[in-house]
Chains A and B, each alone.
Chain A
Amino acid sequence: MTSTLKISELTKTFAGIRALDAVSLTVEPGSRVALLGHNGAGKSTMMKIILGLLPFDAGTVEVCGAAPGSAQARKQVAYLPENTAFHPALTGEEQIGQYLALRGEDPAKARDLLDRVGLHDAARRRIGTYSKGMRQRVGLAQALIGKPKLLVLDEPTSGLDPVSRRDFYALLDGLAAQGAAILLSSHALTEVEARTDRIVILSNGRMVATGTLADLRRTAALPVTMHVTAKNGYASEIADALPGAIRVGADLRLSCGQEEKLGMLARVAGLRDKLADIEVVPPSLEDIYSHFSRRDGQ
């Protein structure tokens, strides 16, 4: 199977600073890849290189079997920029109509596309009157034109409310099921959640982690926290039985590695008669993300 996007050892330098440092990545048809990283990690730079908007210094990039930005690549790639903007004097329908015509499609399809992203009622209003979330939907509508093979979406869910975000991911699922490869970026792991097949974390231009969410969880091997609440009067006794626990009022906080988790639980369960409650807190998505993006000297 040929990859839709193939990047190998990609390097880009801006005024002596390495924006991207030997990054390699492939995206297969039908897969959804999330690109995560802090501001300035190199996400947008990488996307602009894939789109052919920026030149690069070293490495190879192949988009749908062609050079990035070539006529053949542009025909098959759709882009949703960060902070999508359009001319405020045009209506949503006119703007999408123009994009349809630029891709050689019938401008009359604009209404259907706007319906798909939930902008039916606003289609004939000027974009200048739209909210940020509505503009983002216009941007999404243009990215759906003409069954693209690769969608490059720069922070597509920023400005969307949780319900719209869910609708958006449902749309992406549909596109991926039809064989489109999707590369989307985000600031936060919580935003992409379980709706992507693979996660790539960039930090200062380098790829610091890649894999499924479960892979990242395993590799990070962050400690599990347990909150143990003692029955009245038993707090000191339990604290003695569980060395290493930190006492916070009637609560005790325990922390242990992933592999010690079951042993620890068994020990706590042995004190069952003296306990009011126990809560196991796995490392949060934010913890995992910070673990990777801060690993190199931040």
Chain B
Amino acid sequence: MNRILATARTEFRIALRNRWVAIAIGLMALFALVLSAAGSAPTGGLGVDRLSVTVASLTSLAVYLVPLVALLMSFDAIAGEVERGTLPLLLTYPGGRVEILIGKLVAHLAVLTLAVVAGYGLAGVAALRADPAAAAGLPALFRLTWTSVLLGATFLGVGYALSSLARRPSGAAGLAMGFWLGAVVLYDLGLLAAVVADDGGWFTTDLFPLALLANPADAFRLFNLAASEASAAAAGVAGAASSVPLWQSALSVFVWPLLALAAATAALRKVTP
């Protein structure tokens, strides 16, 4: 436990000095503020409070931004140590390789949590000031916050795994961006194309919900939209939120971080410095 905390403390210090803390907080705050300003238009006709609408917009934002920030922070975690030549020494110290990963995860997750809380907090304050009824959306905002942290944990774990596989920062960066594009953008486009081509057949009814649950970003979106009853404000793939039971998307949101950490551990165990 002490070893994990020691690694976490060092990694947080490095993130602070590399300006990652400032960059992550700045990014999330900026996007959240832009969204809450832009999201003020469509409230009237929907009959929901302002914050719930903001949460629906923030969900669509987080699904892209949180994985991106997580991958940017994590792609260098192992490959960078290999390139600097610091990994061999670290691996001769007592403690398992999984402890190194958990230590890094704790630090990076702390940075991400700070960024998410800052961004969503600003959006929440903005909504509450404009609409006193917005307090009704607070539980949804809270849910969005902790699920965003779990989504971040998943992509941090994936980043560590790719970093271990690539062993060079440039290769790891390429893999991370490729993964982001595939998991967050192309996956949904592919599903949409398949649904359109299938035209209400077996794929749409049986496989489509499973395919959504199998992707951590889609599961995150499903869970938040289904739980906040604001899916009316969302469009596209998320329209399927109602067809998937809440417990299933919740399970996916909880299980993915563990799977990602397991994959990262397996990949790091294969690294011979």
Contact = CB atoms under 8 A, between A and B. Distances in A.
Contacts of A75: 94
Contact of A74 (B5, B6, B85, B94): B94
Contacts of A257: none
A277 B3 CA distance: 67
Q: Please classify the interface of chain B as helix (H, G, I), strand (E, B), loop, or mixed, using the class held by over half of its residues.
A: helix
A97 to B, nearest CB: 8
Interface string B239-273: 00000000000000000000000000000000011
Contacts of B95: 102
Interface residues of B, number: 23
12 contacts: A52-B92, A53-B91, A53-B272, A54-B272, A74-B92, A84-B85, A84-B89, A98-B10, A101-B3, A101-B6, A102-B6, A102-B7
A233 to B, nearest CB: 64
Interface string A40-78: 000000001001111100000000000000010011011
Interface of B: 2-3, 5-7, 9-10, 13-14, 17-18, 84-86, 88-89, 91-95, 272-273
Interface residues of A, number: 32
A289 interface: no
B268 to A, nearest CB: 13
A20 to B, nearest CB: 15
Q: Which of A54, A87, A142 has the most CB of B within 10 A?
A: A87
A85 interface: yes
Nearest to A102: B93
B152 to A, nearest CB: 22
A210 interface: no
B94 A53 contact: no
A89 B6 contact: no
B9 A98 contact: yes
Contacts of B2: 101, 104
Contacts of A85: 84-86
A9 B273 CA distance: 23
A80 to B, nearest CB: 8
A139 to B, nearest CB: 8
